[in-house]
Chain A
Amino acid sequence: MAKNPKMVLAHVDDGRQQAVLAELRVLVAPSALGGYVAQGLEIDYVACGDTEEEARTRFSRGFVATVRKFISRQRPLDGLFKTSAPAEARRAYFAATTQHVFRCAVFQGLEEIPADIGVPRSLAFVSSPLTLPQ
């Protein structure tokens, strides 16, 4: 993680409630056999779809579900870093004109907070037309 200061993965655990905030770069590119693939760079996570939007949606849902499973299984989040994304994905990301950044906030054990309280509960892809510094 020290090699990549742009990535954010924060985990707060007070023993009763947990929150995970993540921000990572995701290559979204056409697949070799049609459709699209979303490949996380800092965290090696992959989702495919018939459309770019579908690949992003599946990435979001699957990644958040993965984080929830880590929490419910009481596994350290280090397990998200067992493998590395392919080097060619990193090169393609920085060569692309549109660079996607995925942000999410995952809360566990905070269900008692009323829905109208301003706690971030959603996740989003953000596309930047600018090249991010490496």
Chain B
Amino acid sequence: MQPRLHVISVLKQFGVQVFAEDDDYFELVDKFGDPVVLHLPDPVPPEMIVHLFRRFGEMHGFPITVLRAKPN
């Protein structure tokens, strides 16, 4: 489980646009302009961390380790 603030901060740092929606939903937009709306609770579960890496990691050039502020 990772702090949401850290996860969002990393995504922004690597160029993912992040827009808060209602009820812990966030619109994340990749560098090509394609969106995904995800429910990101705080803390963020490990399966969601893996999904975020799969969706944005290679495209935006970051390893999964940067999403992990602390070991699970």
**Complex partner residue of B39 from A39, A44, A48, CB under 8 angstroms:** A48
Contacts of A65 in B (CB 8 A): 21, 25, 27, 37
Shortest A131–chain B CB gap in Å is 24
B10-33 vs A: 1/0 string, CB under 8 Å?
A: 000000000001000101011011
Render A56-78 as a binary contact track against B, CB cut-off 8 A, 1 for contact.
00100111011001100101000
Q: With A61-B25, A83-B54 in contact, is A46–B47 under 8 Å at CB?
A: yes
- Total CB contacts across the A-B interface at under 8 A: 64
Q: How far is the CA of A70 from the CA of B51 in the complex (A)?
A: 19
Count class of interface residues, chain A: 20 to 34
Q: Are A48 and B48 in contact (CB under 8 A)?
A: yes
Q: Given A31-B47, A32-B46, does the pair A73, B37 have CB atoms closer than 8 Å?
A: no
A48–B55 touching, CB < 8 Å: no
With the chains together, A32 CA to B50 CA distance in Å?
13
Are A44 and B54 neighbours in the complex by a CB distance under 8 Å? yes
- Check: A106 CB closer than 8 A to any chain B CB: no
Least CB distance from A13 to B in Å reads 17
- Cα of A32 to Cα of B35 in the assembled complex, Å: 27
1/0 per residue, CB under 8 A from A, across B42-72: the answer is 0001111001001100010000000000001
In this assembly, does B1 line the interface, its C-beta being within 8 Å of a C-beta of chain A?
A: yes
Chain A interface residues toward B at CB < 8 A = 31-33, 35, 37, 39, 44-48, 58, 61-63, 65-66, 69-70, 73, 75, 79, 82-83
Which 8 A-B residue pairings sit nearest by Cβ, starting from the closest? Answer: A79-B34, A65-B37, A69-B35, A46-B51, A58-B39, A37-B47, A48-B45, A66-B37
What are 18 A-B pairs at a CB distance below 8 A? Answer: A31-B47, A33-B1, A33-B45, A33-B46, A33-B72, A37-B47, A48-B39, A48-B41, A62-B25, A62-B38, A65-B21, A65-B27, A66-B35, A69-B27, A69-B35, A70-B35, A75-B33, A83-B55
